[in-house]
Structure 1
Amino acid sequence: MCGICCSVNFTAEHFSKDLQENLLYNLKQRGPSSSNQLVKSDVGYKCFFSGHVLHLRGVLTAQPVEDERGNVFLWNGEVFSGIKVDAQENDTQIMFNHLSSCKSESDILSLFSQVQGPWSFIYYQASNHYLWFGRDFFGRRSLLWHFNNVDKSFCLSSVGTQTSGVADWWQEVPVFGVFRIDLKSTAVSKCVVLHLYPWKCISSDSVAEEYVNSLAKISADLPKFVSVVVNDTKLYLENPVVPLNMMLPKAPFESPSTEIFRVPPTRETLQACLTDKHVKEVVQQFIDILSIAVKKRVLCLARDENLTPDKALETHDRRANVAILFSGGIDSMVIASLADHHIPVDEPIDLLNVAFMTEEKPTTSLNKKKSKQKNDCEVPSKEYSQNSAVTSDDPDKQFCVPDRITGRAGLKELQALNPSRIWNFVEINVSLQELQKFRRTRICQLIQPLDTVLDDSIGCAVWFASRGMGWLVTQDEVKSYQSNAKVVLTGIGADEQLGGYSRHRICFQTHGLEGLNKEIQMELGRISSRNLGRDDRVIGDHGKEARFPFLDENVVSFLNSLPIWEKANLTLPRGIGEKLLLRLAAIELGLTSSALLPKRAMQFGSRIAKMEKKNEKASDKCGRLQRTTLENLSIEKIKM
């Protein structure tokens, strides 16, 4: 994970080596291990590069990196496969070595077509005065652009800032492909032309026709001095995943085992499905591919020497290197179960479970003491520890939200699967006061340029969860805890591919399997702009890296290859039909009640939705984000 930024100016008198103070701060939050800057200039333009590194693998490689020919590279990504990176090597340096040896545009595109893993990058090619940049196919890493109409300058950055007075001009770089700007030509014309090298399915015949609508959409959101064109050479990047299987059954669709679902579903109900040989084979293939995806994401990081199993059981203060956004729902349970297969036995796993205060209560002296201790993350008093044994019978009612209840149940399942593992169930409790404070001071500028009620709810919930500041509650004690795990696994991508949302069921009931196929195809197409850039910015703000096993290229290709009825059966009840393939995988992995939990969105499970305003729709523009923007701008004007 890194914070990367490149500011380009074509007017010498307006050029500054310094980024705005709070933009630089936002970038440093993402990369606490190393920070460096570099200026490159030529006749008519100057580029200021800023790189901030979170060191996770190989030798620490400071950014920006520059070679002897003046090429400059900024990389915010992970190479999990496609390009060879040995355990002791750093992928930033490996990628730059490959780029430096590229002799043509097609070589550069071939390189990025091979990379499997999340990435965004900025590459200055000195010999041609080209600036290349882009995001991976799914947009798992954030990259924003900002164009200044006054001096025709522009900026690329992992994260934006609101205090510039032009917050609305920060936009997410679209994931339609890789972009190139000819800086020398721009210096003369004062018009920025974005040359797009789009992704292309191998079976596709015409790249240009596919992207006409996309280009129009990009151009409509840009200033007049910026335009987008498909590159003249008609080169493209190879799509890293196979196309979605849109096949429909020859006969009217109905599960052959529908009869067994006419009674309330149980674990045995799912086990009955696994008696079908073909179903069992598909489920095992899915487990194997998803397991490899999880393995890559939990082992591609530096860790301390492993202890022997005997020593591990004696040691209770080992640091967790991996955390999971954990609700106890099926997505996070399957990820946790597979992570347990690959993470060394001596190493704890942090399960981050967030809850928002459900109701205000009269404040007693004890409650005041508890509140201060929680907000300040101090060690709780003995009295509080004794009186807050958190069980299903006597939970802290203010934070007894659905995800807390299922999270505790999920913890027991995982402990039963592997009692030798230290499972750190981190209870993260957020009051209304704390939510409003950190939304105003931090979260709002990370969510931007997104601005809906849904973005506010999920962005805030993910920020507090990934911060990892909470409470460990065991049979013996309650103690404050700060998760320092640099890698955070999240289950995003499961619902989009496996028909997990309620809108999928509505779509199926209205338009059948054909409509459901189209809906799922659309879900993956918009996941970059709807979720991933925002979540990367929010999690990265804590100097941590989000990793998405369900969006591994091989996992997506496998799921795309299956007909829809092998992934979901929405003729069956909630808790069974949606994400049926994942539920069957959970049974095979030894999970129990969590395999039957119906889908519950994070904003409802954590109870952040409607916490402040009860008549909002998820798609509405969020007034809290808008007001925060104006407040910050006013403060900035007062300072000036």
Structure 2
Amino acid sequence: MCGICCVVSLSPGACVLPDRVRKNLTNRGPDHSKDVTRTVITPAFRCLFSAHVLHMKGSLTPQPLEDSAGNLLLWNGEVFGGLEVGPEENDTEVILQHLSVQADSTGICGVLSRVRGPWAILYYEAARHCIWFGRDYFGRRSLLWHLDQEEVVLTLTSVASCPSAYEQSQWHEVAAAGIYRLDLEDCARHKELTIEFFPWVCAADHPSVHNPDYMWEDLPSYASVVPNPSGVSLLAPVCAMNMSTSAPKIYKNVQSSQLSLEALEELLLNTDNVEKVNQLVEVLSEAVRRRVQSLPCSSPSLEQSGINDQTDIAILFSGGIDSMILAVLADRHVPAGKPIDLLNVAFKLQEAKMQPQSSKKGKKPNSSPADEPCKQRDHYLTRCFDVPDRITGRAGLLELQHLSPERKWNFLEINITPEELQGARQERISHLVHPSDTVLDDSIGCAVWFASRGIGMATATDCAEQKQHTSTAKVVLTGIGADEQLAGYSRHKVRFKSDGLEGLVKELAMELGRISSRNLGRDDRVIGDHGKEARFPYLDEDVVSFLNQLPVWEKADLSLPRGLGEKLLLRLAARRLGLGPSAILPKRAMQFGSRIAKMENSHEKASDKCKRLITE
């Protein structure tokens, strides 16, 4: 994972990268930083390329990476399939080797179409003086753009900075709708930026569900976006969604309408269900394997001593079904001697509702009166953070310990006070979330930032005593994508009740189409700020293709009770994997489960612009 940036100027003067943006980029890539410039006198243009590398695989490869022909690659991504990358090879080197031998735009689009995994790219094609840029099909890596309103200057970067209350932002996310190209010689000759667009398309020339129109509104007079004149496109890495709504007339998933594990067991008696559940487990397990085994090499000194207690993998963990399945599958593929960190964040409940219990009640026989104030205070502080996700997280830990007692599970209780939240939001989080700016962006962005930072109190598997723990994991698994594909949100049930299967299918197609702009860019920026990489197993191309080919009624049955019908196929997989109560936990959004939403104005709507994200 890296922080990548390019500044293109057709105006006099040097290309400048603001200090705050450079600092944010460096946080993403703390292992190596490098700038490269390109200047052409006639016609005149200047480019600054800045790359900041987080070393993840193979030997440390500085970026921008240059080949013998002068091509430059800034690559923020992981190749999990599609192109062959040896165990000791670096993704960036392999990608540049493939791109540099392509004779035209068809070849370049063909290479990027083959990549399986998350990526954002800046590629300078030296012979033609062209810059290519874009994100993968789902937008799992952030890329932002900014067009100066006065000078002919374009800035592309992984992460930006939030303007003050007196400034108007010009930052936007690069739409994950395709790939873009700038012909710098042509642009310099005409003193304008004409950006050619190469769209993603599905099989049979079916257009992608992504719509780039929102990205290109209110452009300066010198900039425009046009379809590429050759009509070249990229083939989407997943199959088109099954839009069928012709469910069998006699279709009943389960006889019992009660929320229970027995209802799941009843469904698993169906041979057709078992086959699909096994297929889902297999494809999801492989997706997790790719993401937990593509890791940096362990410290040689630790390996030689035979002791390596450092954690490589962490999971954003609520104890809900999405994170529980990731934990069970990670346990299959992470070496037995390695701990796994379970990151569980909680925001302090209002003190008015959490009065300490009387010391006269529950006093232990062996405790002295002098001990009581301390014990009462500790109990009170613990209860202040007993939010719903903390409670289900502890229950989930017990399930995991039962399933895999030999594994060291570090359940990390990350407790955040209002004062700490306010300080971090102003100093760092507001800049990372930007240009996302809603109340929901604030809540999720803050919760994910604190959780992925991985600093809290851990309870070891074999000990009830807590101790301060900082996660060393560079890889953070997150369950994003499960709800969008398997009808996990309450709005899905509302749509189903009003418009039936036809409305539900359209809602799911929309959810998957907008996930890049709603979630992924923001979360990548937030997690990457800690020098860690977010990985999304539920958005693995093979997982998405498997789910896309199924009709909606084989993925969810929203006529069943909450906690059973939504994400039904995943709940069956959870039961198949041996999970118990967590398999039927109803969906609870992170902002409510962590209780960050309760710390702010309760009258706000999720879609409102968030004033707290405005910096002073």
User: Smaller-chain TM-score range?
Assistant: over 0.9
Shift of 1:59: 0.7
Aligned to 1:282: 276
Which of 441, 466, 476 is the aligned partner of 1:478?
466
- Alignment partner of 1:538 is 2:502: no
Aligned to 2:19: 21
Aligned to 1:370: none
Give the Cα separation in 1 of the matches to 2:422 and 2:40. Answer: 46
Structure 1, residues 224-268: CA drift from partner, whole Å, max 9, x if none?
3211111000000001110110112354474242x222xx32212
Shift of 1:217: 3.3
Aligned to 1:38: 36
- Alignment partner of 1:556 is 2:554: no
- In structure 2, the CA distance between the partners of 1:279 and 1:114, relative to structure 1 (3 Å rule), is same
Q: Secondary structure at the match of 1:203?
A: helix
* Kept after mapping to 2: 8 A contact 1:200/1:236: yes
Give the Cα separation in 1 of the matches to 2:220 and 2:60. Answer: 39
- The residue type paired with residue 446 of structure 1 is L
Matched ranges for 1:4-403 at <5 A: 4-12=4-12, 14-16=13-15, 18-43=16-41, 44-163=44-163, 168-204=169-205, 214=211, 216-252=213-249, 254-257=251-254, 259-261=255-257, 264-304=258-298, 318-360=309-351, 396-403=382-389
Structure 1, residues 349-376: CA drift from partner, whole Å, max 9, x if none?
0000000001136999xxxxxxxxxxxx
Q: Secondary structure at the match of 1:538?
A: helix
* Kept after mapping to 1: 8 A contact 2:412/2:456: yes
- In structure 2, the CA distance between the partners of 1:323 and 1:256, relative to structure 1 (3 Å rule), is closer
Give the Cα separation in 1 of the matches to 2:233 and 2:293. Answer: 32
Which of 389, 405, 426 is the aligned partner of 1:440?
426
* Kept after mapping to 1: 8 A contact 2:10/2:152: yes
Give the Cα separation in 1 of the matches to 2:213 and 2:336. Answer: 52
Moved more, 610-619 or 425-434: 610-619
Shift of 1:151: 1.2
Shift of 1:11: 2.0
Structure 1, residues 19-47: CA drift from partner, whole Å, max 9, x if none?
21111100000001111111111121111
* Kept after mapping to 2: 8 A contact 1:306/1:346: no
* Kept after mapping to 2: 8 A contact 1:306/1:344: no
Give the Cα separation in 2 of the matches to 1:473 and 1:384. Answer: 23
Give the Cα separation in 1 of the matches to 2:571 and 2:39. Answer: 56
Give TM-score scaled by structure 1 length.
0.89
- In structure 2, the CA distance between the partners of 1:215 and 1:592, relative to structure 1 (3 Å rule), is closer
- The residue type paired with residue 69 of structure 2 is R
- In structure 2, the CA distance between the partners of 1:467 and 1:388, relative to structure 1 (3 Å rule), is farther
Q: Secondary structure at the match of 2:204?
A: coil
- The residue type paired with residue 71 of structure 1 is N
Quick one: percent identity of the two aligned structures?
52
Shift of 1:387: 6.9
Structure 1, residues 161-210: CA drift from partner, whole Å, max 9, x if none?
125875611100001100001111111212111100000111226x6xx7
Structure 1, residues 262-321: CA drift from partner, whole Å, max 9, x if none?
xx322121011010001000000000000000000000012438999xx99xx7x70110
Q: Secondary structure at the match of 1:304?
A: coil
Which of 613, 618, 621 is the aligned partner of 2:601?
613
* Kept after mapping to 1: 8 A contact 2:177/2:199: yes
* Kept after mapping to 2: 8 A contact 1:40/1:46: yes
Moved more, 230-239 or 159-168: 159-168
Which of 565, 577, 580 is the aligned partner of 1:589?
577
Which runs of 5 or more structure 1 residues have no equivalent in the other structure?
365-381, 632-640
- In structure 2, the CA distance between the partners of 1:383 and 1:348, relative to structure 1 (3 Å rule), is farther
Aligned to 1:637: none
Aligned to 1:406: 392
Q: Secondary structure at the match of 2:169?
A: helix
Shift of 1:536: 0.1
Shift of 1:7: 0.7
- Alignment partner of 1:456 is 2:452: no
CA RMSD of aligned residues (A): 2.4
* Kept after mapping to 2: 8 A contact 1:385/1:477: no
Aligned to 2:452: 466
- In structure 2, the CA distance between the partners of 1:384 and 1:6, relative to structure 1 (3 Å rule), is farther
- In structure 2, the CA distance between the partners of 1:256 and 1:535, relative to structure 1 (3 Å rule), is closer
- The residue type paired with residue 14 of structure 2 is F
Q: Secondary structure at the match of 1:555?
A: helix
- The residue type paired with residue 284 of structure 1 is N
Give the Cα separation in 2 of the matches to 1:423 and 1:108. Answer: 44
Give the Cα separation in 2 of the matches to 1:161 and 1:39. Answer: 22
* Kept after mapping to 2: 8 A contact 1:215/1:229: no
- In structure 2, the CA distance between the partners of 1:619 and 1:335, relative to structure 1 (3 Å rule), is same
Q: Secondary structure at the match of 1:492?
A: coil
Aligned to 1:635: none
Give the Cα separation in 2 of the matches to 1:121 and 1:77. Answer: 8
Q: Secondary structure at the match of 1:426?
A: strand
Give TM-score scaled by structure 2 length.
0.93
Which runs of 5 or more structure 2 residues have no equivalent in the other structure?
356-370
* Kept after mapping to 2: 8 A contact 1:76/1:141: yes
Structure 1, residues 536-581: CA drift from partner, whole Å, max 9, x if none?
0000000000000000000000000001011000000000000000
Structure 1, residues 479-534: CA drift from partner, whole Å, max 9, x if none?
11111100000000000000000000000000000000000000000000000000
Give the Cα separation in 1 of the matches to 2:410 and 2:283. Answer: 27
Shift of 1:388: 8.3
Q: State the number of aligned residues.
A: 595
- Alignment partner of 1:493 is 2:481: yes
- The residue type paired with residue 452 of structure 1 is T
* Kept after mapping to 2: 8 A contact 1:610/1:616: no
Structure 1, residues 35-73: CA drift from partner, whole Å, max 9, x if none?
111111112111111000000100110100111221111
Give the Cα separation in 2 of the matches to 1:388 and 1:86. Answer: 55
- In structure 2, the CA distance between the partners of 1:220 and 1:427, relative to structure 1 (3 Å rule), is same
Q: Secondary structure at the match of 1:6?
A: strand
- The residue type paired with residue 224 of structure 2 is S
Q: Secondary structure at the match of 1:587?
A: helix
* Kept after mapping to 2: 8 A contact 1:389/1:473: no
Shift of 1:221: 3.9
Q: Secondary structure at the match of 1:454?
A: helix
- In structure 2, the CA distance between the partners of 1:363 and 1:290, relative to structure 1 (3 Å rule), is closer
- In structure 2, the CA distance between the partners of 1:514 and 1:34, relative to structure 1 (3 Å rule), is same
